[in-house]
Chains A and B, each alone.
Chain A
Amino acid sequence: MEEKIKAKIMDEKKMKRTFLRLAMEILEHNREADKLVLIGIQTKGVTVARRIQQLIKELEGIDLPLGVLDITLFRDDLHRHEKQPAVKKTQIDFSIEDRDIVLIDDVVFTGRTIRAAMDSIFELGRPASVQLAAFIDRGHREMPICPDFKGKDLPTSRRERVKVMLKETDGQDQVLIMEPTRF
């Protein structure tokens, strides 16, 4: 589907502030940082999680464990696809037993990804708590899921797409709303 930029929502400067606030809020909310772990959802959520991990290290000198979670195999629409979506790696090199997990994704939308992520996490152990951080909340939830930490509320229409671009993967930091060129 071809699409064009409808609006630029955030630039590098704004995103930097938002990342900083997210990192602070996560720390503020979790007093026992020694139980805290970050898990980024493949693929963009991982980069967002790395940024937050780095900021927390700079702010408090705490090196939080960071895991990578791929939710493909837990999707609720696997049987609907004509071709199978690509499976990416899951790498969580620490026990999640009794830890406070902050799940991190770039955009929260229907909530189905987060549902899959929680199912996947509970196959790996029993955490003390699971919190959710999303850089953008674009609404249209289909599940009873609400982020504990969010960078920005961004009302969108369903046919639009929110594109969180990050230096590590896209060469620059910005958030765009994309819309299809044709109907």
Chain B
Amino acid sequence: MKEKTFLQNHLLGIEHLSVSDIGTILETAEAFIEISTREVKKVPALKGKTVVNLFFENSTRTRSSFEIAAKRLSADLINFNSSVSSLKKGETLKDTVLTLEAMNPHIIVIRHSASGSPHYLTTFARSSIINAGDGFHEHPTQALLDALTIQQRLKTLRKLKIAIVGDILHSRVARSNIILHQKLGNEIALIGPPSLVPREFEKMGAQVYSDIRRGVKGADVVMMLRVQEERGAKNYFPSIREYRNLFAINRDIFSLAKKTAILMHPGPINRDVEIETSMADSPQSAILEQVTNGIAVRMAVLYLLKGDIHETLN
């Protein structure tokens, strides 16, 4: 039997993955789902491997998700917390990573506010690098776990209309999802105020709407993005109340999507800002499945990368 091959050394973005790579990651993730339902949620696949969580931005869910994923594969994991680290003492990113690498980790999971920082790491690091979110650029594992959730619910990843609502401009989740669904040939509708969804996105092959009703119509998947107040989202529209009136998802608007449509959100959700509370808890909502699938997808990525380049360079 022909074994599927996955020959990437790093996971920097969906951009660098082929459709077959995406398929391999999702198939592997599907096999990993079962492990998390066992009483003993651990397999020895990455025994003796070390994973470093290098997070320069606040994150609880993505960081814990990677942590649980690594531990269920028996890898050792250390969390490197930027707020207490030497970066505060003036060390550069390169020196921080070189110092960490002197401890021989196999995989470094990095989140950084500067777009492209994971790519920069690959120019000198010996470990496999996983991008857990870089600036406004990409957040590949989120797009992959979204894809796994869609596949589970809708039994397909093809011929779909994906509507993404909110701050597309500053969203790495949106960008990774756009690239992924572009590769799969799906229709993409981007919805939000023109200040947050500029027409430039049409160049990525998406349709841009400022009317949520028109954008959501006939969609198979409606992805809501969080209003990121901490990133100054409020500077892009007059008020939260106006945003809610125009772009929040409620039953009425969701009913314009396909009957089988599902509602997604990368979290954390702002109830009654971008998502009406009853919609968040509705059977159409796949939000908690996204979290569960996040662990399986991250296990798959850790397993498939495994940090082999480290060994080959030594």
Contact = CB atoms under 8 A, between A and B. Distances in A.
B267 interface: no
Given A87-B28, A89-B31, A123-B40, A82 B308 contact: yes
B42 interface: yes
Interface size class of A (residues with CB under 8 A): 20 to 34
A73 interface: yes
Interface of A: 43, 70, 72-74, 78-79, 82-91, 119-120, 123-125
Interface in B31-46: 31-32, 34-35, 38-40, 42-45
Contacts of B24: 86
The 3 closest A-B pairs by CB, nearest first: A73-B45, A73-B43, A87-B31
A79 B311 CA distance: 10
Interface in B1-38: 1, 3-7, 24, 27-28, 30-32, 34-35, 38
B1 A43 contact: yes
Contact of B303 (A79, A87, A88, A119): A87
Contacts of B73: 73
Contacts of A88: 31
A73 B44 CA distance: 6
Contacts, number: 52
B303 A84 contact: yes
B48 interface: yes
Contact of B3 (A85, A119, A120): A85
A89 B34 contact: yes
Nearest to A90: B34
A91 B37 CA distance: 11
Interface of B: 1, 3-7, 24, 27-28, 30-32, 34-35, 38-40, 42-45, 48, 73, 300, 303-304, 306, 308, 311
Contacts of A91: 34
A123 B304 contact: no
B27 A123 contact: no
Nearest to B48: A79
A59 B51 CA distance: 53
Contacts of A70: 31
B34 A123 contact: no
Name which of B31, B42, B48, B303 has the most chain A CB atoms within 10 A of its CB: B31
Contact of B38 (A83, A86, A123): A123
B31 A78 contact: no
Given A43-B1, A89-B30, A89-B31, A84 B43 contact: no
Contacts of A73: 43-45, 73, 303
A87 B29 CA distance: 9
B312 to A, nearest CB: 8
Given A78-B45, A79-B48, A123-B42, A86 B34 contact: no
